[in-house]
A and B are shown apart, each in its own frame.
Chain A
Amino acid sequence: VTAKQARVVMGAVAIVAVLEWSASARAYRDRIDDADWAAAREAIPEGEAVAIAEAWLGPRARMEVPALAHVHNVARPDLQGVSRLHVLGLDREWSDELDRDLEGMPRPQPQSQQDIGPFTLTTYALPGKRVLADFTHAALRVRTDAACKGRDGTYRCTEGSVTAEIAEIDYRPRACLAFALADGVAGRVRHEAMPLGDELRGHVGFHDYNGRIRNDTPARVVLRIDDTIVARFLVSDEEGWRAFTIPTTPGTANVEVEVTVGVQATWGKNGIDATYPRRACLELRSLEAP
């Protein structure tokens, strides 16, 4: 190594070190204090659709800002039923998760922006279809071979249960109806006189990640309107939060979804394990264009 080479190398080392000192000054400190969270809480309207751009901030954000803890915001099915969305971000105004939730809609343009300490609160307008009815929060009739008992989202059947809950699907929380039934049993959930707009929109996915690794059985989904089959398809857990839409005529109708999973238990190195079965989870809403 010549003296010149040594100087160049040491210069490069010094430059990297200086860069790291500078990066350290930014990285190793809190950027958000209690006052910032209080200001965010004040600025975010209750009852409206709100999201946090940095998903990793979620736990603290839900603790500090009640609107962000609301189940409609934490476990939304998609952004199709949202007409106005506020996004609280630290370094971003949007996120990949929100992109996925657009499900084919173009990314909206910001309508307004507000700086709140280190945060930016950005408000977006979306096409926003109106949600007329939602299976997850409706009174349903649930049956397998026999009628299931229960209400308010908890239905007990001879072969298991169907429950409105928050499930983990593709590492995201989703509010949906979880089918915990015996293998091969068809669970039918029915909404009598469901108000219909111009489409039924729903999703099916599988809870949870352990089950998804160790069981690949697809779910069969059959959708009936006034007892006529309008859709029948298989859903695999590879599809994540699989969306489906059915065009409808405005009015009311009896809407029924039948979900069947051949095998619920999982398969690992110790053989079949029914302790933590994989569960199919369904959500369905009727939407009306604005």
Chain B
Amino acid sequence: MKRSHWILAIVLGVLTVVLLSMGHRNVGYVRDEGIYFEASRSYASWVAQLVREPGQALRAEHRDRAFAINHEHPAFMKVAAGLSAKLLSRPTDDGQQGVIPLLPEGAAMRLPAQVLAGLGVVLLFVAAFRKGGLVPALLAAGFFILLPHVWFNAGLHAFDVPVAVAMLAVALAYRRALESRRWAIALGPLLGLAIAVKHNALFLGVLLAIHCYASLLLARRRGTKITGKQWLPLPLISMAILAPLVAFALWPWLWSAPIDRFAEYLAFHRQHSWYNMEFLGENYNQPPMPIGYAIVMAFATVPTVLLLLAAIGLVLGVRDDLRHGTHDGLLLALLGLFPIALISLPTTPIFGGTKHFITAYPFLALAAAHAWTTIWSRIDLGARARMLQPAALALCLGPSLVANVDAHPFGLSQYAPLVGGPRGAAELGFNRGFWGHAALPLLPALEGERVYLHDLADLARRQYVREGRWPRGAEPAPASRASAALLFHERHMTSDEVAVWNAMHTTAPRSVLSLDDVPLTSLYRAH
């Protein structure tokens, strides 16, 4: 890679962060962010105390008090968000503000996740560039970040895109670790860091071990002699020893009772309650989920041209591994297909829709780039290829970009063009956007009202209050005593909607927030 290509990669990463930071001011706070904001403030206060009074902060009762909130997720991203707010937050209603008060508190807390999304773009660009050059690099980066569901999640103070990027970083490090002792040692701490972002990364060590041993077995089958030492490679040892230590060190909640609390953490996610998910017109909220859920939802939310390229890339990559002893094809197939396969198990709790297999997309993006590189290298168009490739790239990334621009700031409700976009998805019976965030344009109309918030989480409302964005005089109220009501449309929300009708004595909303004609959120006023 030339210096100019590094600069381009960094520019794309920075551009991603800037656009996410600015654009997501218009994205309402999703249900989960409310509790993450609270937790982030608590964790960052503990870090501040650790600097001021380390002895006090490290006492178990202080530590546990700070980290008890939202201990169902590791602390790393919340600590980063809390520190970002301490650095960058504008004054809040309780008088707190950052050292350099540049951003609203929520935007400051979203920034670390956005920076990781930018890092993801850089990593994809660099990884694909090294294999195929500039156009595949742009394809890999664009494949990932331009997907409307990825873009939406990338801007939130949440862990799904951060863990996808962290897993990508670990996988890229693993590739280097197979040939470099330094990278092999660094791999463990990196995996620990990824585990400290979200539990998805717990599977990564096992998957990389499977890949490692599969590669060894393939090599042996081709006649390569495998030594005893090779069966216990340094990357795996590093992951087995250093990753748990780093993950443990980055989560002070575990320090007091590591085994019990880690077991509680695993149990929480294994037995996570099922949320309501509309899938092909049926509402699912208990097992079994249809086995095709993840595959159909991937098809419904990712442009088919990108999935097609990824599929071609996986086939070509695995074939190369089997024939020529390369490593990447199996690796991309394992990491790109495992998240989808895991969510496809009928007993896996469904509680977050497409974001739960977002971790597959960086690897599918690299697979698409591999397909691109292989096909264009064989197509033999001579100098014309240089002219045609950018046009073909625009042709392939265009549908994602158009969908993303169209949907912003409601990207979670966006669907792929061949499904028919939001209208097609509504017709087929898919979720609308289950996170109670599509409300910002309706908020000014709530001034002075007693508001039934419906799916807008109260902690999200409190964040708006902290930032002075909540309408004056608007107070939350149950539907029976409300003068106005928000209603987030989903199939299972019909019961809440009729409760609003009964309470407000009307079935006609005053205002409806739509995406391409599809109602997302309604505002009712009492008659």
Contacts and interface: CB of A to CB of B under 8 A. Distances in A.
B398 A1 contact: no
A237 interface: no
B308 interface: yes
Given A21-B398, A56-B427, A171-B491, A16 B507 contact: no
Contacts of A172: 494
Contact of A171 (B283, B303, B419): B283
Interface string A1-42: 111011101101110111111011011111110000000000
A57 interface: yes
Contacts of A31: 423, 516-517
Contact of A13 (B283, B308, B402, B495): B308
B151 to A, nearest CB: 14
Interface in B356-402: 374-376, 378-380, 392, 395-396, 398-399, 402
Interface stretch (A107-115, A131-139, A205-213, A254-262): A205-213
Given A3-B380, A20-B399, A56 B420 contact: no
A216 interface: no
Contacts of A24: 398-399, 402-403, 417, 421
B279 to A, nearest CB: 14
Interface stretch (A80-88, A160-168, A193-201): A160-168
B308 A16 contact: yes
B492 interface: yes
A20 B304 contact: yes
B495 A20 contact: no
Contact residues on B (Cβ < 8 Å of other chain), bracket: 35 or more
Contacts of B378: 1-3, 5-6
B463 interface: no
B512 interface: yes
B495 A207 contact: yes
Contacts, number: 168
Contacts of A5: 378
Given A1-B375, A7-B379, A13-B396, A173 B498 contact: yes
Nearest to A70: B507
Nearest to B404: A28
B379 A14 contact: no
Contacts of B502: 165-166
Given A173-B498, A208-B495, A213 B509 contact: no
Contacts of B516: 27-31
Contacts of B494: 168, 171-173, 209
Contacts of B507: 62, 69-71, 74-75, 166, 173
B501 interface: yes
B339 interface: no
A9 B498 contact: no
A192 interface: no
Nearest to A65: B508
Interface in A45-71: 54, 56-60, 62-63, 66, 69-71
Q: From B417, B421, B426, name the one whose CB has the most chain A CB atoms within 10 angstroms.
A: B417
A69 B495 contact: no
B492 A171 contact: yes
B38 interface: no
Interface residues of A, number: 54
B201 to A, nearest CB: 28
Interface in A149-182: 165-168, 171-173
A58 B501 CA distance: 13
A70 B501 CA distance: 11
B423 A27 contact: yes
A28 B417 contact: yes
B512 A63 contact: yes
B11 interface: no
Contact of B399 (A1, A21, A207, A213): A21
Contacts of A69: 506-508
Contacts of B418: 19-20, 23
Contact of B417 (A1, A23, A62, A207): A23
Interface in A70-104: 70-71, 74-75, 90-91
Interface in A207-256: 207-210, 213
A166 B522 contact: no
Interface in B306-344: 308-309, 312, 316
A209 B392 CA distance: 48
A20 B517 CA distance: 20
A171 B416 CA distance: 26
22 contacts: A1-B378, A6-B379, A10-B376, A13-B309, A17-B398, A18-B395, A20-B399, A23-B399, A27-B424, A27-B516, A28-B421, A28-B516, A30-B514, A30-B516, A31-B516, A56-B426, A59-B487, A59-B489, A60-B514, A66-B508, A207-B495, A209-B494
- Minimum-distance CB pairs A-B, first 5: A27-B421, A208-B495, A23-B417, A28-B406, A56-B426
Interface of B: 283, 285-286, 303-305, 308-309, 312, 316, 374-376, 378-380, 392, 395-396, 398-399, 402-403, 406-407, 415-424, 426-427, 487, 489, 491-492, 494-495, 497-498, 501-502, 506-512, 514, 516-519, 522
Given A23-B399, A24-B417, A173-B507, 4 more contacts: A20-B398, A23-B420, A59-B509, A62-B508
